[in-house]
Amino acid sequence: MLFCRSAVVEASCALSSTTCPPREARRVYPYHEVALNKTRTPKKLSAVKSFQAVGIIPPVYPFLACTPLDRGYSNLFFSECYNRQMTTIYIIGAIIILLILSLRVVKEYDRGVVFFLGKVTGVRGPGLIILIPILEQMTRTTLRTITMSIPSQKIITKDNVSIDIAAVAYYHITDPLKSVVAIEDVYSAVNQISQTTARNVVGQFMLDQLLSQTANINTQIKDVIDVHTEPWGAQVTAVEIKDITL
């Protein structure tokens, strides 16, 4: 005996060659209770399942599967079931992809500057960060001290002696927001200003002063660089002249 369950099935029975039993002889059962062959009778339903069968209680069974009973009525009904199944899969897949794209992990020594439609909304981190996909972007910046080599430069001292000086500078980011918004490339900017400052400061001393007052000269170079890097959210912690060549 074949059991019909809905108005859609009634219509499919009318359009197809399938013969359905009289309406008064038909009973409606949940998917897993329907007999899969004509000789087997459905199991006895509980009160809750009977209410679900007539539509009083919404069914809680999986909605992704097309049952054999669906496939047995008509190709049209099965096509609708298949389309519903694929649409649900696409929606779930899209949600998973968007969720993956919205998650960011910011390490303890990093910070993330977040932009919403091009406008800065703040600094986030460390830890797990959730962004709005497409609408929000994040730029990372590190808070660790960065070692920067100042390449060897030819400098003429105050007593007209030509020398080559190489130095090293140490700096770190104090304001992640300024380091991203106020300057395009903070590392390159600090490197260039350090070369220029070292050349200008060393040129004010004579050679014997340069050799005897190295610590004082290092401090002066650092202070001058700090004045330039403060608006960029960077602070120079030390500058050391490491090589002087005549």
* pTM given for the model: 0.62
Alpha-carbon distance 77 to 127, whole Å?
49
Can you give the pLDDT at residue 224?
93
Output the pLDDT for position 42: 45
Q: What percent of the chain has pLDDT over 70?
A: 67
Question: CA angle, 43 as apex, 40 and 46 as ends, to 5°?
Answer: 165
**CB of 69 within 8 A of CB of 42?**
no
- Contact of 3 with 20, CB cutoff 8 Å: no
For the segment 225-243, the average pLDDT, to the nearest whole number, is: 92
Per residue in 193-221, pLDDT (tens digit) is 999 999 899 989 888 888 888 889 999 99
114-153 pLDDT per residue, tens: 999 989 999 998 999 999 988 999 999 999 999 999 888 8
The helix/strand/coil state of 3 is coil
**Residues 172-186: what's their mean pLDDT?**
93
Give tens-digit pLDDT for 9-67.
455 555 554 455 554 444 444 444 444 444 444 444 444 444 444 444 444 444 445 55
